[in-house]
Amino acid sequence: MEKATNITVKVDAALAREAKVLAARKGTSLSRLVANQLEALVNDDQAYAAAKRRAQRKLKRGYDLGWKAPTDRASLHDRENLR
């Protein structure tokens, strides 16, 4: 298990009271409640960063859309094939 680090956070007294009630309803401590929320925020941020890196790699490689350059100028302006 990793070593725990204490963090001091200042919040409004009314918020602290409500948070303590919420923690009690969830059957946990206020400290554990805050730690779980911080962990979720960090995990979400890391997942987003990883997805962004994957997307940027895919964009850099590009996509093959199957487009072929026309063989001549006339075929570029051929409207019959578009109807």
Q: Is the model's pLDDT at 81 over the cut of 60? A: yes
Query: Which range of residues forms the domain containing residue 49?
Result: 7-60
47 lies in a domain? yes
46 lies in a domain? yes
Q: What is the mean pLDDT of the chain?
A: 91
SS3 7: coil
Alpha-carbon distance of 53 to 21, in angstroms, equals 40
One DSSP character per residue, 47-65 reads: HHHHHHHHHHHHHHH----
> For the chain, how many structural domains are there in total?
1
Please give the single-letter amino acid code of residue 79: R
Q: Taking residues 58-77, what's their average pLDDT?
A: 84
Report pTM.
0.68
